[in-house]
Amino acid sequence: MAEMHYKKQDYNIEQFDTWVLRGKLNLSPEYQRDYVYTLEQASKLIESALMNIPLPIIYLCEEGNGTYSVIDGQQRITSFLKFKHNEFPLTKLSVYEDLNGKYYKDLSDADQDKIDNTALMSIIIEADSAESKFDIFERLNKGAVTLKEQELRNCVFRGEYNSMINDIAASNKTVRKMFKAENKRMWYQEYILRFFALNNFTEYKPSMKSWLNKYMKANQFNTDTIQADKDRFNKTLSIVNEALGDDAFATVDYDKKITLNKFSATFYDSIMVAFSKFDRVKLISKADSIRAAINDTKFKHDEYHDACYAATGSRERVIKRILIIYNIVNSIVGDSGVESEERTFDPALKQPLAEKQNYICPLCGNQIVSLDECEIDHILPYSLGGKTVFENAQLVHKICNRHKSNNVKVTRVLESIGASDTYRMSEEKDIRGKKITMFTFRGKQHLVSHFYRMFQILLDEIKDIIPGKFEELADEEFKLTKRSIPYIKHTKEGMYNPYEVVSGVFVECAMDVNRLMAFARAIFDEFNLDSSEVVLTFKGNEDDDE
């Protein structure tokens, strides 16, 4: 950032009000968030002014047309002006309690004058340094807990691509209808971005937040695909709406088998990304069958439910839920035909692939006798981003390849791209640097409560051994939660998740994760429980948030 030129000046509320009325002050430039102060926050601000408490500095920018835009201080200025124009009464004041319930017009002349004359110390970025306002905004807000991630992206990654996303959010009426809520804090924009960022979903790496940030950074100044991307989103959303209806992304109660009037981010990304891979005419022509199959999946498909409701930002679950929907649609409409040109493997790969597969065809399970009667197939189809590389190749009988289902083998795909983030507790696997997200028991139902008691014992043992913060957190954080209880009913086998809690607390506050697993296996052995029935889901060092 070049040397910044600025000046200092105090402006009172009356001055800001005059500027707004004259169009000289822009309270909502494109990088700013919406007004988010609560009534109580705004009231406390007014009370502070009445008490003559110094208020934080306001940052303004001189624009080339002689106006000012607010870099920082939008919430404070807006609160004062809303109160001055009698848009809300004061509430929950702790010092001037007699003013609770009063509007600006109800105040005494002296108190009104005090509000009008409240001076806000201002830093004005001069016109020749106007471009610096974005950098200043980022530096002032990057650590703010009240600033939503998409609001920050809107500033940091400003440009035509970001403007395109904002335009979709403002102009596409179907978005509001299918997202089931008002667009507060750039909520629409975040999920529109999510559709674009997951286009090449097999390359996704957690966390979702960091993935969206990387995508915006990479495409910040990309003007080549703006119109095509905009058209693709609008077209896909239109197709989904036409085929599945307004509740396409509505979450469900898996136990009661009812649809809820609430948006599901995981239903959204799996359906939108999968549908974008198919031809519109084919989708609409089979809409009834597709709708019935997807609705059935939402209520009855345990793997899809697991991928949509637990550790949803993990790589395995993101890829898995998209592939499940892709397979459903593909089984109904057939080959999507999006592959524009044939991609073939080098025949020299046949021998090493045969050796890798122990001369077994993965499609039929029978022995490969002649390499000449085999061909190399993509594990993940090229149309879904599958690369023509050894890791994505499988040697199959020609006749098997001709008669195989169009559907991709989800497990094989996850293995081929190294996306699995689960393993059985019985495995001796190095998971240093990982954070356990949850434990899942996949044994018989009558063992569920027994399994839960074993983990209670494990926790109690660790609490006795490891002093400090973990002991404080264990009773509070590691308990049967409302969110985990339904897992008893989710599968016939009795899938159970007793510790769906703050990610990583168990590991970080106890001991090295490898030692922890060895300790857990020892306890399971002592009580004759099969630790292979326990599946752990873990993640890397980045937060795996939604």
- Closest by Cα among 189, 181, 292, 277 to 235: 277
Query: CA-CA distance, 467 to 9, in Å (whole number)?
Result: 54
According to DSSP, residue 32 is labeled: S
The pLDDT of residue 336 is: 46
Q: Say what the pTM is.
A: 0.58
Query: What integer pLDDT is reported at residue 154 of this predicted model?
Result: 81
Measured over the CA atoms of residue 505, residue 511, residue 512 and residue 513, the dihedral's sign is negative
How many whole angstroms from its chain centre is CA 527?
40
Name the residue type at position 444: K
From first to last of the 546 residues of the chain, give the pLDDT tens digit.
456 677 888 999 999 999 999 999 888 776 566 787 889 999 999 998 998 888 888 888 888 778 888 888 888 999 999 999 999 999 988 778 889 999 999 999 999 999 999 999 988 888 776 566 666 666 666 554 456 788 878 876 878 999 999 999 999 999 999 999 999 889 999 999 999 999 989 889 888 888 998 999 899 889 999 999 999 999 999 999 999 999 999 999 888 899 999 999 999 999 999 999 998 888 998 999 999 999 999 999 988 988 888 778 888 889 999 999 998 998 888 754 444 444 678 888 899 899 888 999 988 888 998 998 899 988 887 777 777 888 888 899 888 876 665 677 777 777 767 776 667 777 777 776 666 655 565 555 555 556 656 666 665 665 555 444 344 433 443 444 444 333 333 333 333 333 333 333 333 334 466 776 777 777 777 767 677 767 676 654 333 444
pLDDT at res. 365: 85
pLDDT of residue 403: 63
Are the C-beta atoms of residues 138 and 149 closer than 8 Å to each other? no
As a whole number of angstroms, the longest Cα–Cα distance in the chain is: 97
Q: Which long-range contacts (CB under 8 A, 24 or more apart) does 185-191 make?
A: 185/33, 185/34, 185/36, 185/148, 185/150, 185/151, 186/33, 186/34, 186/148, 186/150, 186/151, 186/154, 187/150, 189/150, 189/154, 189/165, 190/148, 190/149, 190/150, 191/265, 191/268, 191/269
Which residue segments constitute the domains of the chain, with CATH numbers given? 6-147 (no CATH), 160-333 (no CATH), 347-416 (3.40.1800), 422-539 (3.30.70)
Contact assessment for residue 524 and residue 451, using Cβ atoms and an 8 Å cutoff: no
